[in-house]
Chain A
Amino acid sequence: MWTELDQETPLVGLGHPPGGFTHGQLGSVLLAELPFVELTNLRGEPGSPGFLAAVLDSIGSELPTTPNTVATSADCCAMWLAPNEWLLRSTGAQPTDLARRLDAALGRQFFAATDQSSGYSVIRLSGPHARAVLAKGSPLDLHPRAFGVGQCAQTLHFKTSVLLRRLDLAGQEAWEVIVRRSFADYAVRIMLDAMEEYLGPGVAPGSSSH
């Protein structure tokens, strides 16, 4: 039977430290990979009778229906992607098999729940320069007046697309960046490069191997 040690994150090429890849300093900018986060893509019609209630039962959280907002519960964060699409990010330590639970809960409703836990990399970027680093790759306005806690948005990070969410981290500038698995290595390498001017010179980890 496989164990957690048998898993690999999309950032395996940057080294494979237990607990995930990290680089930088919180006093400036800190990148931290959050490995093996359970993610589930959910499609459904918010107006369809019983759909929102059944989801609430299943995940303990409302689904946000305001564009680019987030709803959170004890162990799940639901991010709005489209009028009929959400990304559910489990916040507990253990996988909760959310896609299968939704399958069971929604029965013969018109919906689709797909496990995406292996499909993305989840990155946290924090520190006073975090916003400046993201601003190099994203054309969105990331100022707290325009993009506050409780909001999320799909945007660009240089030439790949990412889902951004501002985190509520004790007044600290902090963001969660969710990027597709196959683009994660590119996204993080160019993010490390963007961080360099705030961290001083030095070779970004992993950038010299090949």
Chain B
Amino acid sequence: MSQSCRLPHGGRVQRSAPVRFFFNDKPYDGLAGDTLASALIANGVHFVARSWKYHRPRGIVAAGVEEPNALVQLETGAYTIPNARATEIELYEGLRATSVNARPDIEHDRMAVARYFSRFIAAGFYYKTFMWPRAWWPKYEERIRDAAGLGTVPDTLDPDRYEKTHAHCDVLIVGAGPAGLAAAVAAGRTGARVILVDNQPEPGGSLLWSTDTLGGEPAGQWIRRVTDELATMPEVCVLPRTTAFGYQDHNLVTACERLTDHLPLQQRAGVRERLWKIRARRVVLATGAHERPLVFGNNDLPGVMLASAVCTYINHYGALPGRQAVVFTNNDSGYQAALDLKRNGAQVVVVDPRTRSGSGLSMRAEQAGIRIIQQAVIEHAVGGTRVSGVRLQGHGARLPAGTESLSCDLLVMAGGWNPVIHLYAQSGGKPRWCDQRACFVPDVQVQPQISVGAANGDFSLAQALSGGVRAGIEASAQCDFADVSGKAPAAWATHASTESPILPIWSIGSGKAATRGPKQFIDYQNDVSVSDIHLAVREGYRSIEHVKRYTAMGFGTDQGKLGNINGMAVLAGVLGQSISETGTTTFRPNYTPVSFGTIAGRELGDMFDPIRKTYLYEWHVAHGAVFEDVGNWKRARHYPRPGEDMDAAVARECLAVRHSVGLLDYSTLGKIDVRGPDSVTFLNRIYPNLWDKLKPGRCRYGLMLDENGMILDDGVNLRLAEQHFLVSTTTGGAARVMSWMERWLQTEWPDLKVYLTSITDQYATATVAGPNARKVLQKVCQDINFDKEAFPFMGFKEGTIDGVFVRILRVSFSGELSYEVYMPANLGQHVWNLLMAAGEEFGITPYGTEAMHVLRAEKGFIIVGQDTDGSMTPLDLGMGGMVSKAKDCLGKRSLSRSDTASPHRKQLVGLLPSDPTCVLPEGGQILNAPSTAAIAAMQGHVTSSYMSPILQRSIALAVIKDGLNRMEQEVTIPLPDGRFAQARICSPVFYDPEGARQNVD
């Protein structure tokens, strides 16, 4: 298809490189260097979208990031991007895009009827209409979202790769237009570390198509020279196609670099986007300005376009947006567009509400023979899917005869400029309204940053350059990089032109006209018009933040970049107050939408959260282990043999421990080395039991309480020497206990001479449990006497296995004769292999955490965090005897509070289900009797529940109110299927209550 609106020459597009692309399934040709928007305009396509609510035809209105209308669904399937802005999409071979919010297609949009009853669906319509009946809201919402949706989210996994990185610099400059480039070169020459980010494919900003000269040099040549110089500076990093989207605390600026989106799909490889987290000592914001639209009737028709966009399409892309143009301008910027249009053969009429001023640009327009209608405004535009004409009205004067209506195919708006203050505002700054320039400008700096150029309301090129240079030098100096060698660039001389002041016009006509006449749009993307703001005020809204939320102004993917300031001004007018008094809504990150891929980076799947592995992980895998997550650890849960399910495997492993010997990887338990002259005092304060009398070579079980007397953690502690202990913690509690103990040492008891060192990772642990455990160890360890008397229960010994230092504890979490072998982890696998080999004659069986849980539950041993939940005291567990009366400790005082001391609290008991095959659900609530009432009195809940292989029946642990006084009573546990299970309260020790088994010969 021909590019009917492509100019014969000019622009930065590559005329020798045609690009075929598809828009709404129609093939078009563009040129390399085009955006999707510029290529569409070169093909005469303006009608590209349907609006969000009213489904009105919409066209391309801007040429950059602020575009509210030209949103497309870019590509399909896994690569699809919803709501991509056509003005930012760099054209590539084979590109496919479709309009969003139009079904089946933009010409035959089913919902287009909405605009005929738009009068009835003004702001607040949804809130008012679908309030009732309340239960129907989900249905309404589904339909509304369907009718009003934008793009479609991808339904397949994103195949692209995203990276994140941290970066640091002395001076970060955002924006590589004239101000940003000047700042970068000035800062770079001082030797400071500089990062320059810019959201365009190449640096230069508005200079890329400027006819200005800088220091006598054409703009293009100046850009090349400056960027070449920056490239030679080793400490300067220039990032094109990178949008700084967030300004966070402590001068952290987040930016997204797009690396492959400009390439054809099949050529893309490697990283698609990179998130930069840039910590800068100083930030220079050279983010430019966005032109404001003017607000008049039907100002949303396709073919209505910003003056700056017209200049960009003509000069940067060599595309002519129209041949018969009306330029509506309240400041001198519109004249530049008029001149550019005229120069390229278009007919142009300028409508300017001001009186004739004789300023530079307007005089040039006059000289070029452009007709200028002064003291007039556009009342409304007319047209269908493209603007076809305008109706004028006088502004302080009568219209010249015959100018009430003009026909046109392009309506250009120049309403003044809004500095891009988003990042300044995100940094915590409050923008200030400047009447003279009719815009919000940055005011007091909150973080170490400065705005320059148009972003600071300094719109002339000379101001941009001098401001940029000054900011670059000052920011560097503040980082101690002085311009010592006189290498700072002098300001570059530019051509000066006289300018006449802007005449702000925020909407046309009275409030009545706004309500009754053609809609005057403020926020294109959210279909918010002047009448909606009038309505909001009539309904009592005053604050700009409330009006925003009532009307949805400034919502959506563009966050009101184009329309918000006009909206604030209109609201100020309706309320009869100043714009300054009205203020702005809050500018929040992100400046532009950021993909989830970029936010997630590479921390996906197995790398989402660290997987902690023990020394034996690979062995577990090789032996068919099924793993369970405990904290970040992968622990072997059981080792099913072929044909075994989990129950069978666990039963086999349990019985092996009960009848012969099993081997368990116990390395994940936390281990803390406690050393120093005050170790005993410290442990006495941390634990409720006494540590003075524990002899070196002996172990003792300890419960740890928090300040409220609730159980925090538990473990077996060893006294290694007079002033040296080894404290063990639960797997999940290791880090918490270490912090807890350090906190008390450092903040409350700094006088205690105690050092804590984590040795969790240093030592691997293997538990040898079962009646044959001693025989296994005796085979591999010759320098320890394992005799019953020489090595009693709760003792430990140090020795060697094959020359490897080991510390062996005789403790038991299964009730069987059991030893825990501690060894340096590098040799853990070796010692494990020796234990397996030594146990072969006894059928030694590796067992996992599930069997461990069953074995301990048969003995009534608790697991902190399973049988306790942060509301259990030692008394509740029947362990009140562990609380020493001879001393104080953390949490002890709380145990005497009326509630914690009450004998009627929930207490740990055992439960024997009446049906021995019924394994009660863990977490199941306990009732006194079956009840189907909505509310029944809860007596407690099941904490642990298993099928016991050795008892050949189900068992459970539970906490029950007053449980210790309710032995032998029947209780009821409702089951998920609606039935009720009966169980009898009993002692939590189900097996070997006299403890004979760990004492076998």
Inter-subunit contact A182/B602 (CB<8 Å):
no
Chain B residues lying within 8 Å of A180, measured Cβ to Cβ, are: 761
Whether B486 sits at the interface, judged by CB under 8 Å, is no
**Across-interface contacts of B676 in A (CB, < 8 A):** 110, 112
Report yes or no: B618 in contact with A13, Cβ–Cβ below 8 A: yes
**Minimum CB–CB distance for B991 against chain A, Å:** 33
Q: Is B763 an interface residue (CB 8 A)?
A: yes
Q: CB distance B602 to A194 under 8 Å?
A: yes
Q: Is B607 an interface residue (CB 8 A)?
A: yes
B576 at the interface (CB under 8 A from A): no
Complex Cα distance A181/B270, Å? 31
Q: How far apart are A89's CB and chain B's nearest CB, in angstroms?
A: 15
Asked if residues A1 and B802 are in contact (CB atoms below 8 Å), the reply is yes
Q: How far is the CB of A45 from chain B (nearest CB, A)?
A: 9
Contact A141 to B825, CB < 8 A, known contacts A2-B830, A118-B761 = no
With known contacts A13-B618, A186-B611, A117–B826 Cβ distance under 8 A? yes
Which residues of B sit under 8 angstroms from A132, Cβ to Cβ? 165
Q: Report how far A114 CA is from B672 CA in the complex, Å.
A: 11
B757 touches A159 (CB 8 A): no
B761 touches A181 (CB 8 A): yes
Find out whether the CB atom of A197 lies under 8 angstroms from the CB atom of B271.
yes
Does A71 interact with chain B (Cβ within 8 Å)? Answer: no
Q: Assess the A114–B612 pair: CB atoms within 8 A.
A: no
In the bound complex, what is the Cα–Cα distance between A208 and B627 (angstroms)? Answer: 18
Q: Which A residues are in CB contact (< 8 Å) with B618? A: 12-13
The answer to whether A145 touches B193 (Cβ under 8 A) is yes
* A36 interfacial contact with B, CB 8 Å: yes
Could you tell me if B826 and A182 are in contact, using CB atoms closer than 8 angstroms? Answer: no
In the complex, how many angstroms separate the beta carbon of B496 from the nearest chain A beta carbon? 41
For residue A119, give the distance in angstroms from its CB to the closest CB of chain B. 4
Stretch of A3-11, A20-28, A50-58, A164-172 that contacts chain B: A3-11
**Cα distance A10–B602 when bound, in Å?**
23
Task: Evaluate contact between B614 and A182: CB separation under 8 angstroms.
Answer: yes
Please judge, given known A-B contacts A112-B673, A118-B761, A118-B762, whether A185 and B613 are in contact too, CB under 8 Å: yes
Residue B757 contacts which of A2, A13, A112, A187 (CB distance < 8 angstroms)? Answer: A112
Kindly list chain B residues whose C-beta atoms are within 8 Å of the C-beta of A138.
Answer: 166
Give min CB distance, B938 to chain A, whole Å: 39
B167 and A159 form a contact (CB under 8 A): no
* Cross-chain contact A13 with B827 (CB below 8 angstroms): no
User: Contact string, A103-119, partner B, CB cutoff 8 A, digits 1/0?
Assistant: 00000001110111111
Q: In the complex the two chains form, what is the Cα distance from A194 to B166 in whole Å?
A: 13
Q: What residues on A are CB-neighbors of B165 within 8 Å? A: 132, 135-136
A122 to B757, CA, bound (A): 19
What CA separation (Å) do A203 and B721 show in the bound complex? 50
Name B675's contact: one of A36, A112, A182, A186 (CB within 8 Å).
Answer: A112
B266 CB to closest chain A CB (Å) equals 15
Partner of A119, one of B606, B607, B759, B804: B759
- Whether B277 is near chain A, meaning CB under 8 Å from some CB there, is yes
Residue A160, interface by CB 8 Å: yes
The answer on a CB contact under 8 Å between B607 and A2 is no
A120 to B757, CA, bound (A): 14
Instruction: Determine if A143 and B168 form an interchain contact, defined as CB atoms under 8 angstroms apart.
Output: yes
A17 within 8 A of B: no
Residue among B675, B824, B826 facing the most chain A CB atoms (10 A cut-off): B826
Given A118-B825, A136-B164, A182 contacting B612 (CB threshold 8 A): yes
In the complex, B939 has a CB within 8 A of chain A: no
A132 to B165, CA, bound (A): 8
Contacting A118 at CB < 8 Å: which of B271, B677, B757, B824?
A: B824
Q: Which residues of B contact A118 (CB under 8 A)?
A: 761-764, 824-828
Chain A residues with Cβ below 8 Å from B825 are 10, 118-119, 181
Residues of chain A lying within 8 A (CB to CB) of residue B760: 119, 182
> Which of A7, A9, A36, A145 has the most chain B CB within a 10 Å cutoff?
A7
Q: Chain B's nearest CB lies how many Å from the CB of A153?
A: 14
Cβ of B603 within 8 Å of any chain A Cβ, yes or no, is: yes
Closest-CB distance, B579 to chain A (whole angstroms)? 40
CB neighbours of B714 from chain A (8 A):
none
Q: Is B402 an interface residue (CB 8 A)?
A: no
Q: Is A173 an interface residue (CB 8 A)?
A: no
* B824 CB contacts on chain A under 8 angstroms: 115, 117-118
Expressed in whole angstroms, the Cα–Cα distance for A142 and B760 within the complex equals 30
> Which B residues are CB-close (under 8 A) to A36?
826
B796 CB-CB contact with A under 8 Å: no
Question: Does any Cβ of B come within 8 Å of A72's Cβ?
Answer: no
A34 at the interface (CB under 8 A from B): no
Partner of B163, one of A10, A111, A119, A197: A197
Which residue of the partner chain, among B163, B269, B615, B762, contacts A115 with CB atoms under 8 Å?
B762
Contact of A159 among B609, B803, B830 (CB under 8 A): B609
Min CB–CB distance A1 → chain B (angstroms): 4
A151 to chain B, nearest CB (A): 15
From residue A171, how far is it (CB to closest CB) to chain B in Å?
14
B166 partner, pick from A9, A43, A136, A197, beta carbons under 8 A: A136
- Give chain B residues whose Cβ lies under 8 Å from the Cβ of A84: 755
Task: Chain B residues near A141: list those with CB within 8 A.
Answer: 168, 279
User: Does any Cβ of A come within 8 Å of B621's Cβ?
Assistant: yes
At the interface, yes or no: A41 with Cβ under 8 Å from chain B?
yes
Q: Which residues of A contact B611 (CB under 8 A)?
A: 185-186
CB distance from B565 to the nearest CB of A (A): 36
A197 to B164, alpha carbons, bound, how many Å? 12
8 Å CB contact of B803 from A2, A43, A140:
A2
Residue of B nearest to A137 (CB): B166
A183-B612 in contact given A36-B826, A112-B755 (Cβ < 8 Å): yes
In the assembled complex, the Cα of A146 lies from the Cα of B168 at a distance in Å of 10
User: B487 on the interface (CB 8 Å rule)?
Assistant: no
* Distance (whole angstroms) from the CB of B160 to the closest CB of chain A: 13
Chain B CB within 10 A, most for which of A9, A111, A114? A114
Q: Which of A7, A9, A181 contacts B830 (CB 8 A)?
A: A7
Q: Please name the residue on chain B nearest to A48 by beta carbon.
A: B753
Contact in complex: A139, B277 (CB < 8 Å): yes
Contact B757 A9 (CB under 8 A): no
B271 to A2, Cβ gap below 8 A?
no
Pairwise interchain contact A190-B602, C-beta atoms closer than 8 A: yes
In angstroms, how far is the closest chain A Cβ from the Cβ of B678? 9
The residue in chain A whose Cβ has the minimal distance to the Cβ of B759 is A114
- Please name all residues of chain A whose beta carbon is closer than 8 Å to the beta carbon of B270 when the two chains form the complex: 197, 201
CB distance from B452 to the nearest CB of A (A): 25
Contact partners of A120 in chain B: CB under 8 A: 761
Whole-angstrom distance between the Cβ of B131 and the nearest chain A Cβ: 45
CB of A110 within 8 A of CB of B826, answer no
Say how far A21's CB is from chain B's closest CB, in angstroms: 13
B492, CB-defined interface residue at 8 Å: no
Q: Is the CB of B610 within 8 A of A160?
A: yes
A residues with CB within 8 A of B? 1-2, 6-10, 12-13, 36, 41, 43, 84, 110-112, 114-120, 132, 135-136, 138-141, 143, 145-146, 158-160, 180-183, 185-187, 189-190, 193-194, 197, 201, 210
* Contacts A118-B764, A193-B607, A197-B271 supplied; 12 other A-B pairs, CB < 8 Å: A1-B803, A2-B802, A2-B827, A2-B830, A110-B755, A114-B673, A114-B759, A116-B762, A118-B762, A182-B612, A182-B761, A197-B163
18 sample A-B contacts, Cβ–Cβ < 8 Å, listed by A number = A1-B802, A2-B804, A7-B827, A41-B757, A110-B677, A114-B757, A114-B759, A115-B762, A118-B763, A118-B827, A119-B759, A158-B607, A182-B613, A183-B612, A186-B612, A190-B602, A193-B607, A197-B271
- Partner-A contacts on B (CB < 8 A): 161, 163-168, 193, 269-271, 277, 279, 602-603, 606-607, 609-615, 617-618, 621, 633, 668, 673, 675-677, 753, 755, 757, 759-764, 802-804, 824-830
